[in-house]
């Protein structure tokens, strides 16, 4: 190969790689804590995917942290609560503990019950797939808002209300007389009918149950059981994401408009919203203003 052709080849390669890098940019997650208390986010990367660090950290009330996420990352994120460190330096959390004994989860997932945010970035047809899942139970309200993304199914999703206050008695996890989390029916009873396992391991044999219907009624865009795909999975192209702990259901939209970050928010029953504005509670005893109640 002569010198002239070599130079042309190098320039072509440079332009090709530059073009590819401009098409697929790293995504950012802005993680925001609007709870009255500290939340300890945990992060688990899927198998054979580039690792997202850190895998855990503390996020005080009113604070946020932005992470740059590797291209084609897949995994889940959740919030641990009421974490303490013993004299030996071991960290334990009352809900959603990952069992590492440390601030970082180091490849360990959340112990149910836990509200989970799940992502697969740059997946099929270059789409980001994401959802908020209550399949493993619930411990915190969470909201995911895509920013600057495109696509018909590019919308916010999450669970805006405090399910712990209205958790069915059989699913409650209590600590010092307070309900701190709400189990899934699968975890609570171990029944294959609730777990979509054994002879109930297909969409036809595992329809919604009274328990998953309860979760779906209150949080209509969240995953309520294993085969709840059609109304619970969202897709975007080219988005960055805000992940909010304890979002404010009836003030979020105005706040986002003021910050030019408006997105379609998950639906909440209008009657419940009206009562929430005046009392902080829904007819089910769900707290709407997480900074006041």
- What residues does each domain of the chain span? 26-279
Mean local confidence (pLDDT), 204-230: 92
The residue among 17 and 233 whose pLDDT is bigger is 233
Question: Please, where are the H alpha helices in the chain?
Answer: 3-23, 185-189, 192-195, 210-218, 252-258, 270-279
d(Cα 275, Cα 146) in Å, to the nearest integer?
28
Mean local confidence (pLDDT), 215-232: 91
pLDDT at 273: 38
127 with 235: CB under 8 angstroms? Answer: yes
Position 269 pLDDT exceeds 60: no
Mean local confidence (pLDDT), 25-46: 95
Q: Which helix (H) or strand (E) holds 74?
A: strand 74-85
Position 20 pLDDT exceeds 60: no
- Which pLDDT band holds residue 288 (cuts at 50, 70, 90)? very low
pLDDT at 7: 54
What is the pTM (predicted TM-score) of this model? 0.80
Mean local confidence (pLDDT), 140-152: 95
| Closest CA relative to residue 225, chosen from 188, 192, 184, 266 | 184
Least confident of 169-178, 180-189, 271-280: 271-280
Which CATH number is associated with domain 26-279? 2.60.110.10
Mean local confidence (pLDDT), 119-130: 96
pLDDT at 266: 57
* Distance linking the first and last C-alpha atoms of the chain: 74
Position 137 pLDDT exceeds 60: yes
Position 104 pLDDT exceeds 90: yes
Least confident of 15-29, 75-89, 199-213: 15-29
91 with 56: CB under 8 angstroms? Answer: no
Mean local confidence (pLDDT), 168-189: 95
């Amino acid at each position: 190969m002569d010198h002239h052709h070599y130079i042309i080849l190098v320039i072509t390669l440079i332009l090709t790689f530059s073009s590819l890098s401009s098409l697929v940019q790293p995504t950012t997650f802005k993680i925001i804590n609007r709870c009255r208390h500290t939340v300890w986010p945990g992060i688990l990367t899927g198998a054979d995917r580039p690792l997202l660090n850190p895998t855990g950290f503390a996020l005080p009330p009113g604070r946020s942290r932005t992470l740059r996420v590797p291209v084609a990352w897949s995994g889940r994120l959740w919030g641990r609560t009421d974490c303490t460190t013993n004299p030996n330096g071991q960290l334990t959390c009352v809900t959603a503990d990952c069992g590492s004994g440390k601030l970082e989860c180091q490849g360990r997932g959340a112990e149910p019950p836990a509200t989970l945010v799940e992502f697969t970035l740059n997946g099929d047809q270059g789409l980001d797939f994401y959802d908020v899942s209550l399949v493993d139970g619930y411990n915190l309200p969470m909201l995911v808002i895509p920013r600057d993304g495109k696509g018909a199914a590019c919308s916010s999703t999450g669970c805006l209300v405090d399910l712990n206050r209205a958790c069915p008695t059989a699913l409650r996890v209590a600590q010092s007389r307070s309900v701190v989390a709400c189990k899934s029916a699968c975890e609570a009873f171990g029944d294959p009918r609730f777990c979509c396992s054994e002879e109930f391991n297909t969409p036809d044999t595992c329809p919604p149950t009274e328990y998953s219907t309860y979760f779906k009624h209150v949080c209509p865009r969240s995953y309520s059981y294993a085969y709840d795909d059609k109304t619970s999975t969202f897709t975007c192209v080219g988005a960055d994401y805000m992940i909010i702990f304890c979002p404010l259901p009836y003030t979020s939209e105005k706040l986002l408009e003021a910050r030019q970050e408006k997105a379609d928010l998950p639906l909440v029953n209008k009657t419940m919203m009206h009562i929430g504005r005046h009392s902080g509670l829904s007819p089910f005893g769900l707290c709407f203003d997480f900074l006041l109640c």
